[in-house]
Structure 1
Amino acid sequence: MATEPTNIIAGIDTHADTHHVAIINEHGKPLADKEFLAVGTGYRKILDFITSHGTVTAVGVEGTGSYGADVARILGREGLTVLEVNRPNRAARRLKGKSDPLDAYQAAHSVLNGRTKAVPKAKDGPVECLRLLRAGRTSAVKARTAAINQIKNLLVSAPDRLRAKYRALGTSVLINALQRTRPSGHLADPEYVCLLTLKALAARCHSLASEIAAADAALQEILDSYAPMLCDLPGVGTEVASQLLVTVGDNPDRIGNEAEFAALVGVAPIPASSGKTTRHRLSRGGDRNANHALYQVVLVRMASCQRTKDYVAKRTAEGKSKREIMRCLKRYVAREIYRQITNPQPAPNNADLRQKRNDIGFTLGQAAAQLGQWPSAISRLERGLIRNDDLATTYRQWLHDHSSQKNRETQAARNNDAEVAGPVR
């Protein structure tokens, strides 16, 4: 009598040099466990070991963003369902102790019990390139900031001649001036050594600035080809767009809906009501870097978007605090960005605005004064360098009204000319 195939679930406890694999059946009974080397041949042996015990339902892997990234990628390519196990159950660990086999079995049981449902990031596309570029850029920004702070700290206690010459300069001017210096003297002279050190730090700042600029250009190039319309949203630039895409990963389909995305970026409202008070508080979970990116978008919109300004005024009149208003705005921004990532929509074409303005005979300054905007903002809107749907709608309506008025005046002038000329004989 043929036996029915066994449905199994595997759990993998990952480390730098070895991975421990444990297998249980669909009823939670332990079947086998074994340790493998964390190398290419080891990954193939892991695949053979798992598939040899039955039909694989799912594989729970710890640390899919670090030590388990490779094995998760390889298992996924073979068609297995890979789920990310965040960490072992602490209560079970206290009761049963800790070891690699126990952690592997715990990972398998977390999949069986439904505690683990997260699909790991694919890490095999342009978003992974964004992540790598951002990692190098972040390091360069921190190093440049540290070098600038060191320069300013050294100038505080520098000899009076150096302090008087450089301390009042702005940061960028100071760095350029220090880089052009030619220190001369001997190593026993504190003034010479101080200027020598300042020049070295300024050269480091300049080199790091070039590195940051190169990273920004590479990020923009990837965004232009992978998600060109994401930066069309108001307040979303290269830094924000790249961070949010890194948070989502190369496989955005792993996020089931907009509410899951809100939880992922830390803007899902958390109930904090008690007694007669009904309110929600800020979420402290999710990706904090993505949450900070949304915060930057909200700041930009609160300063430049009229619709956002109206919303802030309305909620302030209702008694909401600025922190609560920003929480609501971050939630709305998250909804808009999720829709743009999953279903990209191009920005409206504003190429006709400049031609309409020229036809009416208004200068850029006159249009900006009438709309209460800076001329640079109107110019960037006309050239398609920024997206501001509310301003574009207001601007287009203003141009239409003045165009209609000009047409009426022209027609009235023609009628007057006809009356003065009299009937044609």
Structure 2
Amino acid sequence: MPGGQPESPKSDRLDAEQAARAVLGQGATAIPKSRDGAVEVIRMLRLTRGSAVKARTQAVNTLHVLIVTAPDNLREPLRTLRGRTLINHCLNLRPDHDDLATLIDQPARLLHTGATTAIHELARRIHTLTEQITTLDRQLRRLLTTAAPQLMALPGIGAEIAGQLLVTVGDKPDRLASEASFARLCGVAPQPASSGRTTGRHRLSRSGDRAAKSAIYMATVTRMRQHPPTRAYLHRRTTEGLTKREIIRCLKRCVAREIFHALPRTT
């Protein structure tokens, strides 16, 4: 159906319902995101943080490569160090000469000094990026706690998951007509999946925002590990014969319902 939702399940009944809604003018009433409030700031901070994390990961990988290929007397003290200890040790390294070009006739010294310079500068970059990420995390956590306190209070919901869900929804959650529309937006709405051999079975929608779908999955998995009521539900449904995959599908829909009702509302 032109202009309809992708990946809709094939069903005469559902097709007829979608056609009727389109005729009644209910199929094109989506309200765009405003991009003018706290959620827009959260989106920008998350983008900035994501680029910093990516750059730091690349710098750390490059640092390990340089250490492996460094001269023996430089590599050995660093070989067994990890994490912050390694970065701090590399920060304390100082090249014994500032102008590498003047060492062109001293290959061994040039190699050692050049490797020391490269390792030190990479460690500085990693340290700077880590400080940026820490600052952004602090700002995001405070902003999320202020803008969406009920969402942040839900079990299994941290700053990363809450931030992604708010960015997906936008500054005006009221633009979503119901919790069912939120579930569809996040790709966790159940769809009929019956066949000639099975009836009454469902799967989750393959459409929706993938990042939000992943966030709800992570919140669900965290609850399954740490949230007593969720663990009790998992045990009960397992004894009823459901597979773990089926239970997770049910839980994701329940988590989406709780999240929808915890979203901040415009007044």
- Normalised by the length of structure 1, the TM-score is 0.52
Q: Does 1:299 align with 2:221?
A: yes
- Whether the 8 Å contact between 1:244 and 1:293 is mirrored in structure 2 is yes
Equivalent residue number for residue 162 of structure 2: 241
The structural deviation recorded for 1:313 is 2.3
- In percent, how many aligned pairs have the same letter? 49
Pairs within 5 Å for 1:5-404 = 115-185=27-97, 186=100, 188=107, 189-278=110-199, 279-341=201-263
* Residues 145 and 86 (structure 1), Cα distance of their counterparts in 2 relative to 1, 3 Å cut: farther
Cα distance between partner residues in 2 of 1:283 and 1:148: 38
* Residues 261 and 215 (structure 1), Cα distance of their counterparts in 2 relative to 1, 3 Å cut: same
Cα distance between partner residues in 1 of 2:86 and 2:202: 47
* Residues 190 and 86 (structure 1), Cα distance of their counterparts in 2 relative to 1, 3 Å cut: farther
Moved over 4 A (4+): 110-115, 185-188
Relative contact order higher in (CA < 8 Å, ≥ 6 apart): 2
Report how many aligned residue pairs link the two structures: 238
* Residues 255 and 165 (structure 1), Cα distance of their counterparts in 2 relative to 1, 3 Å cut: same
Question: Which structure: larger Rg?
Answer: 1
List runs of 5+ in structure 2 lacking aligned partners.
6-21
Cα distance between partner residues in 2 of 1:322 and 1:150: 40
RMSD value over aligned CA atoms? Answer: 2.6
- Whether the 8 Å contact between 1:111 and 1:117 is mirrored in structure 2 is no
The structural deviation recorded for 1:113 is 7.0
List runs of 5+ in structure 1 lacking aligned partners.
1-84, 88-109, 345-425
- Whether the 8 Å contact between 1:140 and 1:212 is mirrored in structure 2 is yes
Residue deviations 1:160-196 (CA, integer Å, cap 9, x gap): 3333221222222211211121122546533322222
* Corresponding letter in the other structure for 2:80: A
- Whether the 8 Å contact between 2:187 and 2:213 is mirrored in structure 1 is yes
* Secondary structure class of the residue paired with 1:262: helix
* Secondary structure class of the residue paired with 1:267: coil
Q: Which has the higher helix share?
A: 2
The structural deviation recorded for 1:135 is 1.0
Cα distance between partner residues in 2 of 1:130 and 1:226: 10
- Normalised by the length of structure 2, the TM-score is 0.80
- Whether the 8 Å contact between 2:39 and 2:171 is mirrored in structure 1 is yes
* Corresponding letter in the other structure for 2:193: A
